[in-house]
Each structure stands twice: as structure tokens, then as C-alpha cells.
Amino acid sequence: MATAVVATAYGGPEVLSLIEVEVPDPGPGEVTIAVRAAGVNPFDYKFYSGAFGTDPSKLPLRPGLEVAGVVTAVGADAVGPAGPISVGDEVIAQVSGGYATALTTSAARVVPKPADVDWKQAAGVLSVGGTAVHLLAATGVGPGDTVLVHGAAGSVGALAAQLAVARGARVIGTASAGRHERLRAYGVEPVEYGPGLADRVKALAPNGVDAAIDTVGTDEAVDVSLASVSDRARIASIVAFGRAAADGFKVLGMGPGADPGTEIRGNAWRELLPLLSAGKLDLAIAKTFPLAEAAAAHTFVMDGHAGGKVILLP
């Protein structure tokens, strides 16, 4: 048996509760993982909010997309993207129902955890990191580019900014003034969002910027991107779905008209984990919560200003 978080109805964090669940033995191509940490993502609360429908037959819902833990059982032919998986392996996995003390999942979703990456960072890097890698791929960021990252202190934005710097780009990142020193430590040139943003960006890049990455979705972010980048194919957002349809730039993820980037995101671990292991990528952990306080974790994330990744610890 395992303990898991479930949504017993559609609504806000108050619908979450803990229950005991059976953990099935792994079948062919599957593994069972004892979860040490689970990442919290905005999709997790949208999942049970009713944003994707309110079919009562689907209840209870089990949120959670990413975990890190130790393999406790393997089925026949349990082979992941990096090779065969064995009992005792420390792993990272993209899953369904990750808010649990244990779960069984496909080995195809499981990759090795580097020994020098802690459980919290391991559980938090794949979803936001995969999104960041996808944003850079979609906008073609490379050496010599000047890139504008909106929300550069957020979980996705910070990784996108760091990865762009690592690829040889010059990065201008929007953030509140209190987070500018952190961005400078990443090699990012910070600017404060709010009235006058377009002028501040133009002062830093008078000839415009080559690409823009939007992780906040405000009209300000979109308008400044459109004013700064001449090629709309090099503007990508993960939230501004309506504006993308109207203004002709790229939108990524699970929304209407978006490119899901399944293959790019699925392989992003190959770039992310070596950098994280080498200390060349900083995944800021904003706060941790016990598994039993998943509702409080979601309330914290829903505020929109967590300032880093939120992690549940079973």
C-alpha cells in the first residue's frame, strides 16, 4: 500500500485529500518507485480545477507529473531511455499520479538520477527544464543571439535564461527588482517589468532583439516582444494562447493551437541533467511541503510568485 493525494471533486486545493492506494506489481516494461520527492507544477492544480472538463466518472483524480526516488521492483524488460533499470537505482521519472509515497510506471519514462543531484532538484527539473529546452529550440537560440526572456526569475524562465547563456546568447531578463542580483549571477542582464519596459529593453538593445521567450503571458510581455523582435517565428510563449493566434507567434505546450514538443521535451534530460550535476544549472527551490500539505503547496504556487520550484516530500 501507498499514500497518495487525490482530488475527490473539481475545484480548488480544498478538494485534495490523502488516501491509501494499492501499488500494482510492475508488469513487462514497468518499474515500481519509492518516491523521495515530487515536483509541483501549475498543470497539477489545473488538472482538477475543471479547466479540462468536469466529468464525474473520472474522479478521484491523482495529480503529479514528476518524481524522484528509488526503484523497488522491476518487471520483465524494464528498459528506460538510458538502458536497463534495476532494483536500487536512483531515478527521475515523468509520471501520472506522482503525489504518492510509491507508484508503478512505465520504464520508458524513467531516467537515472545523477548521484550529486539532490532529491528536490531531481524531482523538479524535468517538466520546467523540458519546457525551457523546447522554448529555446522553437526560437532557434544560438551563439551571438540577443534573447529577451519574460519572467526570467520564474522556474521555466530562469532555466531558459541559463540555458541560453550556456549556448552563447546574450540574455535580457524581466523580473522584479528584488530578483535582479540572482539574474546577474546567471549572466543575465535584468530589467524590471511594468510601465516603460519597452523603453528599458530598447535602451539595452537599441537594434532590437533576435528572439523573445514569454513565460508570463501578459499583454505587456507580448507587446514588448512584438515591438522588439522583427521575426515573429522567433517569439514563443507558453501561456499567451489568445494573443498567439491573433498576432502570429508561436505558442507551446498543451493549449489550443500549441506545439506540444513531445520529442524535444522527452529528451531534454540529456542536456539538463549533466549541467545540473556539474553545478552549471541552478534550479531554485522556493519551498518544500510534506505530502500531506499538498493543498497548501498548491495555494502557494497559485499565487504566481513562488520564485522557484515547489516540492512535496513524502
Alpha carbon distance 120, 314 (integer Å): 11
Looking up cell 511594468 gives 194
d(CA 82, CA 4): 28
Residue 121 lies in a domain: no
The verdict on 138 and 252 lying in the same domain is yes
137 and 13 in one domain?
no
Confidence (pTM): 0.94
Residue 267 belongs to some domain of the structure: no
The answer as to whether 277 is a domain residue is no
Residues 6 or more apart whose CB falls under 8 angstroms from that of 213 comprise 135, 136, 139, 147, 148, 149, 150, 157, 160, 164, 236, 237
Coil, strand or helix: which one is 112? Answer: strand
Q: Which domain holds residue 221?
A: 129-262
Please provide the size of the chain in residues.
314
Q: What is the pLDDT along the chain (314 residues), one digit of tens a residue?
A: 999 999 999 999 999 999 999 999 999 999 999 999 999 998 899 999 998 899 999 999 999 999 999 999 999 999 999 999 999 999 999 999 999 999 999 999 999 999 999 999 999 999 999 999 999 999 999 999 999 999 999 999 999 999 999 999 999 999 999 999 999 999 999 999 999 999 999 999 999 999 999 999 999 999 999 999 999 999 999 999 999 999 999 999 988 889 999 999 999 999 999 999 999 999 999 999 999 999 999 999 987 667 789 999 99
For residues 146 and 239, membership in a common domain is answered with yes
For residues 245 and 187, membership in a common domain is answered with yes
Is 52 contained in some domain? yes
Claim to verify: residue 146 and residue 98 sit in the same structural domain: no
- The whole-angstrom separation of Cα 166 and Cα 143 is 9
Residue 137, SS3 per DSSP: helix
Sign of the alpha-carbon torsion through 247, 252, 256, 260: positive
In a domain, 268, yes or no: no
Tell me the C-alpha distance between 66 and 15, whole Å. 21
Shared-domain flag, residues 199 and 244: yes
Looking at this protein, which amino acid is placed at residue 18? L
Give the strand pairing for 30-40 and 66-74: antiparallel
Q: Are residues 50 and 157 in the same domain?
A: no
Residue 242 in domain: yes
Residue 271 lies in a domain: no
170-174 and 309-313 strand pairing: unpaired
How many structural domains comprise the chain?
2
Summarize pLDDT for 7-21 with one digit per residue, the tens: 999 999 999 999 999
CA 22, CA 202: separation in Å to the nearest integer? 57
Contact 20, 33 (CB under 8 A): no
Residue that the C-alpha cell 527551490 belongs to = 285
CATH number at residue 70: 3.90.180.10
Predicted confidence (pLDDT) per residue in 255-294, tens digit: 888 999 999 999 999 999 999 999 999 999 999 999 999 9
Dihedrals phi, psi of 238, to nearest 5 degrees: -105, 5
Instruction: Give CA–CA dist 110/41, Å, rounded.
Output: 18
The verdict on residue 292 lying in a domain is yes
Distance from CA of residue 92 to its chain's centroid? 14
